[in-house]
Amino acid sequence: MNIGNLKLNNITVLAPLAGITNLPFRLIVKEAGCGLVCTEMISSNALSYGSQKTIDMMHTCAVEKPVSVQIFGADPAIVAYAAKMAEDAGADILDINFGCSVKKILKSGAGAALMKDPEKTKAILNKTRAAINIPLTIKIRSGWDSSGNDAFQISQIAEDCGVDAITFHPRTATQGFTGRSDWSLIARLKEQVSIPVIGNGDISEPQDAIDMLDQTGCDAAMVGRAAIGNPWIFSQIISLIENGRFPTVPLEKRFSTMKKYVAASVEYIGELHACRMMRSRLSWFVKGLPNSSRFRESITKIRTLEKADALIDDYLDFLMKQSQEDRQV
């Protein structure tokens, strides 16, 4: 699978998830076999003012590459300027958000608002294409009604402007995350453009990705919510494609990944901030395990890496002992 001149290792892609797909999360997803990781969406306006906090959101490292940096904005010159900043910061792909339907973003004319503004879309894409050398992609929704016509129109413009791939989450802008995404629209888009189409929406387990690829002919599968707590979904998809089955994740692997996630977060944002963040995030990884509510309760006050590691180890010990006892019965 190629996006422009960039070859991906496999056809799985991590969705941009605001507040979640920071560098530490991307590192565990990468280790779990994902072909392309993405940052969360980053404001082109804030980049252009030089906001250090926003610039830091583009921070990348060799291990996670290739990485796609997603930006949003409505001003062609500012988006193009921010795109160049992302390229200079080490992005391998520059993605522009055409799907966000949060009120504040829509009011600024960015995100899904662009799906009803073909002229502005053209200006943004032409200026951005001219500003960067790395592959340029866009991420769209179906548009403002369920016909998909907005998506088809914007995609044609994108292809004409030299965009290298389109990610399509076929829900309308007003739909939020309700209902189901309409994969038949992905199949129709795939027939209409000759650049790669990355399908997205409602891949909850590995088989869903296979179904999406089969039903739509899309070139790659993007996973968002299902990767939260199960970063291994990416290698599971590849294993299912290659071997017709996938192994379950051993408990030890699950727990060592949790420890890596905490350690990387501490390094990235500092111990106290990371521990506060991990109080909710570690529970993603233990959903459905025996006594997980007790573990969740135990981590609500963690303040240090040492304490987080100790609680993770204790819970793993408990689970291992329990499974030994179960085997003996």
Ligand X SMILES: Cc1cc2nc3c(=O)[nH]c(=O)nc-3n(C[C@H](O)[C@H](O)[C@H](O)COP(=O)(O)O)c2cc1C
Question: 100 or 158, CB closer to ligand X?
Answer: 100
Q: How far apart are CA 88 and CA 76, in angstroms?
A: 18
Q: Compute the distance between CA of residue 56 and CA of residue 263 in angstroms, rounded to an integer.
A: 18
170 binds ligand X (CB under 6 A): no
- At closest approach, how far in Å is the CB of 31 from ligand X? 20
Q: Does 203 contact ligand X by CB under 6 A?
A: yes
Site string for ligand X, 8-27 (x = CB under 6 A): -------xxxx-x-------
For ligand X, which residue of 36, 40, 47, 76 counts as binding (CB under 6 A)? Answer: 40
Residue 121 CB coordination number (10 Å): 22
Q: Of 46-54, 61-69, 75-83, 196-204, which part binds ligand X (CB under 6 A)?
A: 196-204
Burial of residue 259, with CB atoms counted within 10 A of its CB: 0-12 exposed, 13-18 middle, 19 or more buried: middle
Q: What's the Cα-to-Cα distance from 78 to each of 50, 74, 125, rounded to whole Å?
A: 12, 8, 12
The nearer residue to ligand X, 73 or 316, going by C-beta atoms, is 73
201 touches ligand X by CB under 6 A: yes
200 contacts ligand X (rule: CB under 6 A): yes
Q: What is the DSSP string of 108-172?
A: TT-GGGGGG-HHHHHHHHHHHHHH-SS-EEEEEEEESSTT-HHHHHHHHHHHHTT--EEEEEEEE
In the complex with ligand X, which residue's Cβ is closer, 131 or 237? Answer: 237
Cβ–Cβ under 8 Å, residues 245 and 214 = no
C-alpha–C-alpha distance, residues 262 and 207, integer Å: 30
287-317 b/e (C-beta count within 10 Å ≥ 16 → b)? eeeeeeeebbebbeebeebeebbebbeebbe
Supply the minimum distance, in Å, between the C-beta of residue 286 and ligand X: 19
Among 122, 225, 276, 279, binds ligand X (CB under 6 A): 225
Give the nearer residue to ligand X in terms of CB position, either 73 or 255: 73
Interface with ligand X, residue 99, by CB under 6 A: yes
Which of 26, 127, 129, 169 binds ligand X (CB under 6 A)? It is: 169
* List 34, 38, 100, 275, catalytic entry: 100
Task: Say whether residue 135 binds ligand X (CB under 6 A).
Answer: no
**Residue 205 binding ligand X, by CB under 6 A:** no
Residue 70 touches ligand X, criterion: CB under 6 A:
yes
d(CA 302, CA 282) in angstroms, rounded, equals: 11
Q: Is 61 a residue of the active site? A: no
Tokens representing residue 126 in the block = 């032409």
Please report whether residue 41 would count as binding ligand X according to CB under 6 A: yes
Q: Which of 202, 237, 278, 281 binds ligand X (CB under 6 A)?
A: 202
Report the 10 Å Cβ neighbour count for 284: 15
Torsion sign over Cα 3, 5, 6, 8:
positive
97 scored as a contact of ligand X (CB under 6 A): yes
DSSP at 248 = P
Taking the least distance from each CB to ligand X, the nearer of 174 and 256 is 174
Regarding 120 and contact with ligand X (CB under 6 A), the answer is no
Q: Which stretch binds ligand X (CB under 6 A): 79-87, 94-102, 241-249, 313-321?
A: 94-102
Active site residues: 100
Residues found near ligand X in the complex (CB under 6 A): 15-18, 20, 40-41, 70, 97, 99-100, 139, 169, 200-203, 223-226
